[in-house]
Each structure stands twice: as structure tokens, then as C-alpha cells.
């Protein structure tokens, strides 16, 4: 059995000392003082440790069951979901006009991390609802908003996103689900959707499916796609539930992980749907909230790694095996704890320095999203658009790797389901795939985001890194950070230059290096975060920190990241500069 | 459902053109001509594709069941095991004195790869038997050999290895299982052993457990440990089965993967055991066959990756998604196959270049073991001892990573159990843990093997690399190989030098870099293998190859490895040279 404790001190350090939210000048941030964020995070931490974490292994073991067309969630999920609703946790950053609390997205992200760490599969029921809420909020008519949003804010009704079909996932232009216009302005939706997370369950009275489908007259490919609201139960004019709609669960998928979430095949047989947003502009509507959704998956990447790390540390301190080669540390015991061994420490430091760096990047990304939504800041919009594929792709890849490393600390016990480490690995694996597989994130980064607005956003990013380094020019203590960051940032620039020079001849020269570029940029981003965190920690120490051990640990952890992880940048650059030839040399038949 | 086809052409290329087995001067190798090895491998390939591979998902889904104290293997395993026995596959490299075929270990390894790729969990029943066979063969009395070996060669009786106990795995000095000497020269064995692969099942009449236990008078720690033969059924003087011994199955572990193999808790309650080898020298007896066993696990690492790769290629050619950015490749279809996309190709090339390189290293290692066993070659013994932790640790880490990448090619379908890619990942994971977790392999490499015999073996390895590069001095076509290999080898030497210079002050300086050293050396080894393979391919082309596409593919695949993977060496060196300080900076309480 695994346990989980919310890392509130780390989160507070980020919000208050690194991001300095109350001074950020973002509307609504002025309320996020130290006491307020502490209160929210502590309360969330309690729910996570006491209600959600104990259900994590239950959900994994029992999974969801389809009986007579109805999905039953694992024992205890209903009560836990009720507790989440009662606590107001589903409404945190939702619009007060529809019953939400109107808090910033950055605080919602911190709380989200806590819930995901405790129970990723469970948290997806409200996570998907939030995505659907955002789509309706952004594109719905006043009537649609009034009908659906209040119920979705409370999670009395949950939501889903229906994109994938058996023959198409990434390439949505191929989709076949049809929408036939009816005389009353509604549509009849017919087709099969697969991999629908939270597709059906017994946690809510109604489920609001958002479905991509092709209505007549839109033309070929993605241009013909529209987005529809298809409720499980139709909603009467007075807001009560009406007839059951013609959508049914084909099956629940048997997956590698996140067993507590029902991933469904949904069959639409002339189901009644209502156009959301403009006709034939469904892709645009669906992608409006893409940055937010992908940031949420990038958050899952490190949130699961955080939970795995906590348990690996506990095991490494508890398990006695072998002796410290530099001298016995536990003379009264039969052996020393695992944590004395340098390679175990290397493993734990990898995890710790990644998780804390990724948390910083994700929180920073969340403040940028707040800046966009609350201040209409175009530069922030461009920057977060650039960072999004990095946050999603890099963090979920590394988060999975770190969960694997945490599992490794347990030796053979890590491979036994009873100990719970296997679940972290199996759960973390999906984040590399859904919401755009990581190869697609790399393609988005290199094929689209780098060059968007004439490369303005990536140039702004490089300027930001330079400014950060310049700001610490006279501070010798910061040199291990700024020197490593400068080198890594130059390598990233050199990679971008290589794409510009060679991508003209063939786009493959850039695309063959896209995955390495995503990782190279991920390291630069985390290097930037560690530089900021180190500075904040030095500042706190200079001011007579009340918790010097905490701040010294931050600096040492950051130095580890700079010394041990940033050297990966040169490797990624070398791969990128080897160009497309090695990658594309073989004819298809040679594989 | 996954499929599998034995890569016989690749294996033949290695055996006949790279390793040139018939000219190797190893007793018994003269029989391994092209026609003979082809016949054996083709026959093994048939069994693998037709009998073992179809059972792979069955074993994963149904697992093993403990009923009334007896373990039942999945449906179909009994018939498949009978087919393996009837085909003589269990006896391939066993001693003819006990009914074996006396073939070289290298051929047994090639056949083993084929069986592991097809069904790793199933193949462990005979794999563990082979380990126990080797221990009895090396350390048993004539009487013990006569009693057990003929039945184990045929797998009428299978074997197990019992090391781990609940509180100790790596640190066997802590073990508590007791052996009390009896008047008749036997021992009463009492204690609990866990993680016993193939610990019980319904595939054989008897199971011969080899058990580490402490007999009186041996002193503390590992010095007091002896090795015992503990048969499930005692064997009468005439070779028939006698009474049931006092060993029982406590439970079958619920594992992340290899569900088809019964991993048991075994309880010994005064079970009758017979000393194997010398009293209080059980560790030595157990570790005699360690190189072989670890090579076998390193083989699992890439063998599972090979199977995953084959399926990923098939999916990438079949699945239509998106269009080639350089021009449509499948104009009559709705989209191009995945394999046109550069990042998919990068992914597949990673897999292909690793698997083929690892196969070469493993086969080479197997010839070294044959050289030791058949020619008593001390230099080969030292070299294979050095290579063993690299083959085990590096290949199982990378094999797992490659299985994950193969799964990624499938997108969402890779996460669904039905498609079988999840199983490859879950099965591959154990190879990083058992037979010495990979951190322990790194410790063995850096803490023991590097310095053994005054560093003679690692110096010999560097000489071997130098000689290989020198041999191609005038050949410009070989430059991409020799240049990259020279650089990587120098980096490995520099890392070794760092350990020598700093390890004197504190062993942690070396141990904190041990894992990176293992990976750095793994890349150098695969670089060496690709250099040899490229040379063999050029030679074949120069001689008017009958299959130029095959040889050109080898060269291109090797160039990919040199260009895209060897740059990891500089990263590992940089991490190593950052020393122990970043790794050891934090007090335990800071984690």
C-alpha cells in the first residue's frame, strides 16, 4: 500500500517566493496571499491523503464494470466523489456566474496536482468535466451555458470529450461520425467513438458528451468537422432530466492502467446533439482549451512521479540492505538503510530534481494561462503556446521514467502489485499517449510553434533566459546555475538554427530532430526554473530564513539538476545535427 | 494479438559472417556451419511462431492459479511444454553424459532468444531448470548428477533457484533459512523463500529446488551460507519418486507482468535437503553460473524488445494516419501509413539499431563463455566477467525503453491490453530487477570488475577496441564507425580514470557514477558491435552479396546507432565527472 502527503511547503515556496503571485499584477492574484493558499492546499491535502489515496489501489484492482449497459465504478468512488463535490473542489476556478469560485487557474493546478498524485484515475472524472465545461463556457450560447454549466460546475453532471474513432486518432480529418441536421435545429449523431475517458459511470445524474462529427457541406478533412453537445439524458426546458439519448456503452477497454476510470467505446445511434460553436469549425472550438488540457496532462506526468517518489523515499529509509562503503550508518541494525547507497541516492535525486522542476514549470505555465484569460496578454498567450508541447511531452516522458526509477528502488517488491509501485508506472504511461501522443507534441513544437508569428515567441523565450542569467551576474553563488543554463540555452538556439538552415531544403531535417528538440527544450525550461528557485532560496537565506534546511535543500537539488541533467542537452543537439539522413536512410521494406 | 517471426537472417549473419563461428577455434564450433545453424534456428522459429507466440497473451491474461496447494499453469502450457521436450529443445547445450546434445552455448543463446521473444514467461520454466542443472553439473557429486541431471536435461523434472527472503534480496548475508544437519548426512531446511520463479506448476513430475540456507558453524553474513538440493518429491534409490517433501506454496505473487510464470512464496518446514558443493561455500556455488544467468537476462532484455519491434513495424506500415510532409505516399488511400513520418522512423530506428547491436553483444558474450568452458581460456573468462553486468544492466534498461517506444507507435491502442504491446512492456520490466537489480550490476561493474586482476580485463577491452579501429584504418567507408567508436572509447577511459583518481579519496566518487558508467560502456560495446557488423556487411557487398539490400540495411542501421546513440557517451561522462557531491549533498532527512 502506498501513501501520499501533499508537498505543501514546496508549493508555497513556488507560489509565494518564486512566482510571488500577489505581486504578479494578474487580476485575482492579489487574494492569493500566503495564508489563503496555505489554507486551500492544506484542506486539499487532507482530502487527498484521507479520501483519495486509500482508493487508489482499490480502483486499480477492481476497475470499472459494465453491467446491463451501465458502468459501475469501484467501491468507495461514489462517496469520494460526493466528498469532492461537497468540498467545492470541482468548482475552484469556474466562473462565479455559474456557481464557480472564480479562483485563478494556478491555484486550481496546485490543487489538481494534489488530487492527481493521490488518485489519478479518480481525478479524471472531474478533469474531463472541467474540459467540457471550458468548451461550453467558451463557445456555448447563453442558453447552453445556463442549461449545462451550473450542473457541470458542481459535477452533478460530468463531461466527456469524444474525438477518437477506431480508424483515426491524431488524424481527425478521417473521422466518420455523422451529424444530420433536423428540422428543430438539432442534429442526429451517428457513429462510434473510442477511448472515451469517464465515458460512462455511476457518479453523476447526467453525462454531457462533447462529440466531433461531420455535418453536411463542410468539405473534406478537418474542415468539415463540427462540435456537438450530446447529453446522456436530454434536458427538459425546466432543467429536469428527460429521455435517455441514443448513446450506449459498447464496452469498457481493458487497459494497462488507470483502471479506476472507465475508458469506453461509445456508440451513437442517431443521438440528439446540439451544435456547440460555429458549424464546420469544431476543430477550432475543440482546440481552444488545448493548452489548458495539455498542461493538465503534463501535470499528471510529474504528479504521479511525486507520489511514486514519496513512497520510494520511505522504502529507501526503511529497507535495510547492505552497508555504507564509507562506514556503517546503522550499527545496531543488521544492515544500513538503502538510502546510504550512492546509486540509490542518484536515483532519488533524479526523481526529486525532476519533480520539483516540473512543478515550477507547470505552475509558471498556469500563471501564463491566467495572464491570458484575465489580462488578455498576447505575449503570454504566445509563450504558453510554445511551452505547452514541452510541458506535455517532456514532463510525461520523464514522469514515466521517474516512476520506473521509483519502482526500481523497491527491487523485486516493486514488481509485485501489492506494493503499489507498478500502478504508478502503469498509470503514468497513458499521459505520454493521450491528449496528443508525445511525438505529435514534438511535431507541434517544431513544425508549428517555433515558427509561429515569425518566431517571435521562441525569441522571447531566449530573451527571457538571457535576462534571467544577466540578473544574477554579480552573484557567484548563482554561477553553477547561470553557466549551465547559458550553455544549454545556446545549444537550444543552435538546434533551432539547424532547423532553419536545413528545414528549407527538406522539412524532414527538422522533423527527424523534433523529439530531441522537445527534450532539449524541456531541460532548458527546467534549468531556468531551477535558476529561479535557487535565487529565491538564496534570497530567503539572506533574509534569515526560518527554515534554512528547506532552502539549502532547494539549492542542492537544483545543483544536482544542473550538473547531472543539463548535460543531456549536448546529446540532443548532436542527434539533431546528425540530420534526417540516418533517420530516413532505409526504405520501408528494410524495417 | 501480436505475432512473431524469428530473425534468422540476422542471426545467421552474426554467427557466420561476423563471429565466423566455424573459424573461431573453439572446440565444437567446427560443426556450426551455415546449413546446420540455419536448420536449428528455422526449426526453433517454427516452434516459436506456431506454438509459443500464440500462448503469450493467454499466459498474460489467465496467469497461474493456486488451487488446494497446487499450481495450475495457463491453458495450453502443458501441451507446449511437451512439444519443447519432444523437440529436444531443453537439452541443446547440456552434457551428453546426461542425455544432452552438447551443442555450444552460443547456439543455445540464439535459440533462447527466439523462445523468449515468442513467450518470455513460458520460457522461464526451462530457463530456471537450466540454471539449476548447471549448478548441479558444476558442484554435484557423481551420485547427485546421476540422480537429477538426466531428468532435468529432458525437463521431466524442472528446477528453481531460492535466494530471496522477505527481508533480504541483494544482501544475502541477512538470510534466515536454516539447515539442520541430520544423522544420515541430509539436512532439515526451514524458512521462507519468496519471488521463486517457476516455484511450482503442473508441467513436470518433480521440481528440484536449489536453496540457500545457513548451516551451523559457518559464521556471520554470507560466509555461513550453503546450497542445498531440496526436491519437491524425494527420489528413491531406484530413481522413482518417493514421499512429498515438506515444501509448500504459500502463494503466487500478483505481478506487473510475466503472469504465465508462477512466482511463488515457498515455505520450507523441515524439508529434507542435500548439501550441494562444499559446506558454507554456497554463495560461491550459486555464483558459478552467474555470468551465464545474467547473460540470459540481458538476452531477455533485447529479445522482448525484438518482439515488440516487429509488431510496431507492422502497425506503422498498416495504420493510415496523416500525410508525408514531403509528398503523399499513398494517394489512393485516405492517409499515408505511419511509417512515412520522420518521428515514427526515429522511434523504429532506435529500436532496430539497439536490438541488433544487443544481439551481437550477447552472441559475442556467449562465444566467450564457450571459450571459457571449452578451452579454459582465462582471458575470455575475465572479459566476459567484465561484460556481464553491462549486458545484463544496459540491455535490460534499454530493452524496456525500446518496448515502451514500440508501444508508443500504437498510440492509444498501445495502452489497451487487447493489442499486446502493454504485455511486452510489463514483461520486460522484470529483467531490470531480477538476477541482481541493475544498480547492483553497476556496482559489480565499477566496484569489482573494473579493478579485478589489477584492471587487466578492462585494459584488454580497450586494446580490443583500439585494434578493431586500427584494422579498418585505410577504409574510408568505415570512418563513421571507427571515428565515433574512438571518441566513445576515449570517453569511457576518461571515466575510468576519473574513478581511479577520485575513488581513492572516497569510494562514493566512483559509486555515484556507476550507473552512468554502465550505460557509457554499454554504448561503447554496441558501437564496437556495429563496427564489426558494418565491416562484415561491406565485406559481403565487396564479395558480390546475394542479398545487397540486407547488407546495406545493416550498414545504414549501424550508422544510425553511431550518429544518434553514441552522443549519449559524452552525457554519461559529464555526469560521472560531476562527482559524488551533487549526489550525496543532502542529509537523509531532506528527502
* pLDDT tens across the length of chain B (591 residues): 899 999 999 999 999 999 999 999 999 999 999 999 999 999 999 999 999 999 999 999 999 999 999 999 999 999 999 999 999 999 999 999 999 999 999 999 999 999 999 999 999 999 999 999 999 999 999 999 999 999 999 999 999 999 999 999 889 999 999 999 999 999 999 999 999 999 999 999 999 999 999 999 988 888 889 999 999 999 999 999 999 999 999 999 999 999 999 999 999 999 999 999 999 999 988 887 777 899 999 999 999 999 999 999 999 999 999 999 999 999 999 999 999 999 999 999 999 999 999 999 999 999 999 999 999 999 999 999 999 999 999 999 999 999 999 999 999 999 999 999 999 999 999 999 999 999 999 999 999 999 999 999 999 999 999 999 999 999 999 999 999 999 999 999 999 999 999 988 889 999 999 999 999 999 999 999 999 999 999 999 999 999 999 999 999 999 999 999 999 999 999 999 999 999 999 999 999
Q: Which pLDDT belongs to residue B458?
A: 97
ipTM attached to this prediction: 0.98
Q: Do B426 and A429 touch (CB under 8 A)?
A: no
B560/A585 touch (CB, cutoff 8 Å), yes or no: yes
Q: What pLDDT shows up at residue A248?
A: 98
Phi, psi of B550 (to 5 degrees): -65, -45
In angstroms, the separation between the Cα of residue A171 and the nearest Cα of chain B is 5
Tell me if residue B229 falls in helix, strand or coil. strand
What is d(CA B480, CA B349) in angstroms, rounded to the nearest whole number?
A: 17
Short-list B122, B110, B127, B7, CA closest to B53:
B122
Nearest CA-CA distance, residue B466 and chain A, Å = 24
Pick from B334, B556, B567: CB nearest A585: B556
For chains A and B, CB pairs below 8 A equal: 255
Mean pLDDT for all residues in chain A: 97
User: Does the pLDDT at position A5 exceed 80?
Assistant: yes
**Closest chain B CA to residue A310:** B591
Angle of CA points B348, B349, B355, to nearest 5°: 90
pLDDT given for residue B289 in this prediction:
75
Strands A157-162 and A206-214, bridge-based pairing: parallel
Contact A437 B411 (CB under 8 A): yes
Picking from A346, A426, A585, the nearest residue to B512 by CB comes out as: A346
- DSSP code of residue B24: S
pLDDT score, position B410: 98
Buried (b) or exposed (e) across A177-191, using 16+ Cβ within 10 A? bbbeeeeeebbbbbb
Residue in B with minimal Cα distance to A222: B322
Angle between helices B479-503 and B452-471 (to 10 degrees): 160
Chain centre to alpha carbon of residue B116: 10
CB contact under 8 A, B416 and A506: no
Which of B412, B430, B559 is facing A434, going by the closest CB pair? B412
pLDDT at residue B223 in the model: 86
Mapped onto helix, strand or coil, the DSSP state of residue B544 is coil
**Residue A505: is its pLDDT beyond 90?**
no
CB contact under 8 A, A416 and B255: yes
Q: Residue B348 and residue A591: Cβ atoms within 8 Å?
A: yes
The string of DSSP letters for A429-493 reads: HHHTTSSS-HHHHHHHIIIIITTHHHHHHHHHHHHHHHHHHHHTTT-GGGHHHHHHHHHHHHHHH
Which residue, among A7, A28, A17, A158, has the nearest Cα to A93 in the 3D structure?
A28
pLDDT of residue A223: 86
Q: Is pLDDT of A506 > 90? A: no
The total of other beta-carbon atoms located within 10 Å of residue B114's CB is 31
Contacts of B506 in chain A (CB under 8 A): 326
Whether B591 sits inside 8 A of A549 (CB atoms) is: no
**Cβ-contact A492, A500 below 8 angstroms:** no
- Which residues pair with residue A249 across a beta bridge? A266
Catalytically active residues of A, by annotation: 435
Q: How many CA atoms lie within 13 A of A110 on its CB side?
A: 30
Task: With CA atoms as reference, report the closest residue to A536 among A467, A478, A583.
Answer: A478
With beta carbons under 8 A apart, name residues in chain B contacting A575: 563-564, 567
Please judge whether A575 and B564 are an interchain contact, meaning their C-beta atoms are less than 8 angstroms apart: yes
- Rounded to the nearest 10 degrees, the angle between the axes of helix A568-577 and helix A514-542 is 160
Nearest-by-Cβ selection for A590 from B341, B347, B549 = B549
**CB distance A415–B586 less than 8 Å?**
no
Residue A277 has pLDDT above 90, yes or no: yes
Nearest to A110 by CA among A30, A36, A60, A55: A36
Which are the contacts of B347, defined by CB distance < 8 A and separation ≥ 6?
A439, A515, B312, B405, B408, B409
B435 is catalytic: yes
Q: Which chain B residues are closer than 8 Å to A254 by Cβ?
A: 416-418
How close A195 comes to chain B (CA, Å)? 7
pLDDT at A220: 85
Mutate to test the interface with A, among B170, B321, B342, B514 (most CBs of A within 10 A): B342
Q: Compute the average pLDDT of residues A248-277.
A: 98
pLDDT score recorded for residue A420: 98
Residues of A in contact with B404 (CB under 8 A): 400, 429
Q: Among A346, A415, A567, whose Cβ lies nearest the Cβ of B429?
A: A415
How many Å from the N-terminal Cα to the C-terminal Cα in chain B? 43
Whether the predicted pLDDT of A263 surpasses 80: yes
Is the CB of residue B114 less than 8 Å from the CB of residue B53? Answer: no
Report the alpha-carbon distance of residue B462 to residue B489 in Å, rounded.
Answer: 7
Predicted confidence (pLDDT) at residue A251 exceeds the cutoff of 80: yes
Residue A162's DSSP bridge partners are A211
- CB < 8 Å to A404, chain B: 400, 429
- Predicted confidence (pLDDT) at residue A32 exceeds the cutoff of 80: yes
- Model pLDDT, residue A436: 95
Closest-CA residue of chain B to A340: B588
Task: Look at A347 and B169 and tell me if their CB atoms are within 8 Å.
Answer: no
The pLDDT value given to residue B361: 98
Mutate to test the interface with B, among A176, A343, A409 (most CBs of B within 10 A): A343
For residue A417, give the nearest of B255, B553, B585 by CB distance: B255
Nearest Cα of chain B lies from the Cα of A88 at a distance, in angstroms, of 32
A411:B425 CB<8 A: no
- Considering only CB atoms, A556 lies closest to which of B168, B438, B586, namely B586
> Cα separation of A493 and A505, whole Å?
19
Q: Residue A406 has what pLDDT?
A: 98
Residue A511's SS3 state is helix
Q: Show Cβ contacts of residue A470 under 8 Å, excluding neighbours closer than 6 positions.
A: none
Amino acid at each position: 500500500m502506498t501513501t501520499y502527503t501533499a508537498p505543501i511547503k514546496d508549493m508555497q515556496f513556488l507560489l509565494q517566493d518564486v512566482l510571488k503571485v500577489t505581486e504578479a499584477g494578474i487580476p485575482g492574484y492579489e487574494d492569493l496571499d500566503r495564508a489563503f493558499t496555505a489554507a486551500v492546499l492544506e484542506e486539499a491535502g487532507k482530502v487527498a491523503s484521507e479520501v483519495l489515496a486509500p482508493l487508489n489501489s482499490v480502483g486499480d484492482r477492481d476497475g470499472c464494470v459494465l453491467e446491463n449497459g451501465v458502468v459501475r465504478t469501484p467501491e468507495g468512488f461514489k462517496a469520494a466523489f460526493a466528498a469532492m463535490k461537497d468540498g467545492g473542489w470541482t468548482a475552484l476556478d469556474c466562473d462565479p456566474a455559474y456557481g464557480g469560485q472564480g479562483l485563478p487557474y494556478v491555484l486550481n493546478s496546485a490543487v489538481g496536482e494534489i488530487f492527481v498524485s493521490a488518485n489519478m484515475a479518480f481525478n479524471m472524472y472531474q478533469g474531463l468535466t472541467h474540459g467540457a465545461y471550458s468548451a461550453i463556457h467558451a463557445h456555448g450560447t447563453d442558453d447552453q451555458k445556463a442549461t449545462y454549466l451550473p450542473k457541470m460546475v458542481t459535477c452533478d453532471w460530468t463531461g466527456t470529450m469524444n474525438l477518437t474513432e477506431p480508424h483515426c486518432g491524431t488524424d481527425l480529418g478521417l473521422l466518420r461520425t455523422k451529424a444530420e441536421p433536423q428540422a428543430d435545429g438539432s442534429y442526429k449523431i451517428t457513429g462510434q467513438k473510442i477511448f472515451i475517458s469517464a465515458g460512462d459511470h455511476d457518479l453523476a445524474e447526467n453525462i454531457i458528451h462533447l462529440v466531433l462529427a461531420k455535418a453536411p457541406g463542410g468539405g473534406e478533412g478537418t474542415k468539415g468537422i463540427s462540435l456537438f453537445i450530446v447529453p446522456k439524458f436530454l434536458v427538459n426546458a425546466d432543467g429536469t432530466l428527460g429521455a435517455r439519448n441514443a448513446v450506449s456503452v459498447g464496452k469498457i477497454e481493458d487497459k494497462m492502467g488507470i483502471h479506476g476510470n472507465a475508458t469506453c467505446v461509445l456508440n451513437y445511434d442517431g443521438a440528439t446533439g446540439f451544435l456547440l460553436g460555429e458549424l464546420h469549425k469544431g476543430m477550432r472550438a475543440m482546440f481552444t482549451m488545448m493548452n489548458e488540457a495539455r498542461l493538465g496532462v503534463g501535470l499528471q506526468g510529474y504528479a504521479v512521479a511525486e507520489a511514486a517518489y514519496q513512497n520510494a523515499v520511505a522504502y529507501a529509509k526503511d529497507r535495510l540492505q547492505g552497508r555504507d562503503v564509507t562506514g556503517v550508518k546503522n550499527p545496531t541494525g543488521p544492515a544500513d538503510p538503502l538510502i546510504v547507497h550512492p546509486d540509490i541516492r542518484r536515483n532519488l535525486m533524479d526523481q526529486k530534481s525532476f519533480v520539483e522542476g516540473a512543478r515550477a514549470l507547470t505552475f509558471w505555465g498556469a500563471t501564463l494561462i491566467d495572464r491570458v484569460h484575465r489580462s488578455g496578454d498576447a505575449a503570454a498567450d504566445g509563450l504558453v503556446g510554445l511551452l505547452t508541447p514541452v510541458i506535455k511531452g517532456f514532463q510525461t516522458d520523464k514522469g514515466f521514467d521517474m516512476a520506473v526509477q521509483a519502482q526500481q528502488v523497491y527491487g523485486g517488491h516493486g514488481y509485485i502489485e501489492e506494493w503499489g509501485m507498478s500502478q504508478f508506472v502503469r498509470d503514468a504511461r497513458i499521459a505520454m499517449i493521450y491528449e496528443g501522443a508525445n511525438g505529435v507534441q514534438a511535431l507541434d513544437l517544431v513544425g508549428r510553434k517555433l515558427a509561429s508569428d515569425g518566431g517571435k515567441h521562441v525569441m522571447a523565450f531566449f530573451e527571457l533566459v538571457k535576462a534571467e542569467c544577466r540578473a544574477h551576474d554579480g552573484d557567484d553563488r548563482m554561477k553553477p546555475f547561470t553557466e549551465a543554463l547559458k550553455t544549454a540555452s545556446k545549444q537550444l538556439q543552435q538546434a533551432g538554427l539547424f532547423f532553419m538552415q536545413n528545414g528549407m531544403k527538406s522539412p524532414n531535417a527538422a522533423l527527424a530532430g523534433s523529439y530531441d528538440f522537445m527534450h532539449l527544450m524541456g531541460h532548458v525550461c527546467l534549468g531556468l526554473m531551477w535558476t529561479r528557485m535557487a535565487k529565491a532560496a538564496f534570497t530567503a537565506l539572506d533574509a534569515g530564513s526560518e527554515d534554512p534546511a528547506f532552502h539549502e535543500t532547494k539549492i542542492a537539488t537544483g545543483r544536482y539538476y544542473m550538473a547531472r541533467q543539463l548535460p543531456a542537452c549536448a546529446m540532443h543537439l548532436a542527434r539533431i545535427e546528425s540530420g534526417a539522413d540516418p533517420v530516413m536512410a532505409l526504405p520501408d521494406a528494410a524495417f
